[in-house]
Amino acid sequence: GQQVQQSPASLVLQEGENAELQCNFSTSLNSMQWFYQRPGGSLVSLFYNPSGTKQSGRLTSTTVIKERRSSLHISSSQTTDSGTYLCATMGYKLTFGTGTSLLVDP
Amino acid sequence: GPKVLQIPSHQIIDMGQMVTLNCDPVSNHLYFYWYKQILGQQMEFLVNFYNGKVMEKSKLFKDQFSVERPDGSYFTLKIQPTALEDSAVYFCASSLEQGARGGEQYFGPGTRLTVL
């Protein structure tokens, strides 16, 4: 079955620094979805990105299907960005990665 | 954006009892999903549902689990009887379609189930 690996597992930044989160997957897929999971557990969909690059504010997602990877770039990080970032590959279901736990210090 | 609602937000029950988790999906969506997340662990797929039928289910979707959406009302996950290992947060999701076009899944806030 599909294997989804995220790196790094955890990351600590100073406010204002940039972050690059990686997601690698083992087999071909229909699309990729990135989520932010709040400390309380609820999920916020950040990007639905079958391929190419999408940007929303300080966030940029790039998916390269042939290379079986996707990345999430956070620019000028803020303390409110702290939380867990999940990538998920899409077939008939979402297969989630293990997540990157981000802490942004003031 | 589109919202998925889940009721209740928390549920505490004794082992062996039945529990029903309710999901109000995005109104025009056709595909419905349940996922399970044990505290501190990975989110895992349980089941997806389309046109009144279970389409795919994982090994986690035990015989004690069932799903339905009677007459376009709530999409429900029923566990009967519950076991200690069922304690987790259960997330409902819905999508308009499957595949690259329209397959974005929208998630509810989750129901935290505690089985004592």
In DSSP terms, A32 is beta-bridged to A89
| Closest residue, chain B, to A94 (C-alpha) | B45
What is the per-residue pLDDT for B73? 86
CA dist A19 and A11 (Å) reads: 8
A81 Cα to chain B: minimum distance (Å): 19
- B27-52: pLDDT as tens digits: 989 999 999 999 889 999 999 999 99
> What is the SS3 assignment for B99?
coil
Residue with tokens 């799903």: B67
Which residue in B33, B103, B107 is closest to A30 by CB distance? Answer: B103
Rounded to an integer, the average pLDDT of A15-42 is: 89
Peptide bond connecting A8 to the previous residue in cis, omega within 30 degrees of 0: yes
Contacts of A24 (CB under 8 A, 6+ apart): A4, A5, A6, A7, A68, A69
A70 Cα to chain B: minimum distance (Å): 15
What is the per-residue pLDDT for B85? 96
* A76 pLDDT above the threshold of 90: yes
Average pLDDT, chain A: 92
* B99 pLDDT above the threshold of 80: no
pLDDT band at B100 (very low <50, low <70, confident <90, very high): low
In DSSP terms, A47 is beta-bridged to A34
* B8 pLDDT above the threshold of 90: yes
What is the per-residue pLDDT for A1? 78
What is the per-residue pLDDT for B38? 95
pLDDT band at A29 (very low <50, low <70, confident <90, very high): confident
**Beta carbons of B104 and A48 less than 8 Å apart:** yes
Rounded to an integer, the average pLDDT of A82-103 is: 92
* B25 pLDDT above the threshold of 80: yes
Kindly state the tokens that stand for A91: 């077939």
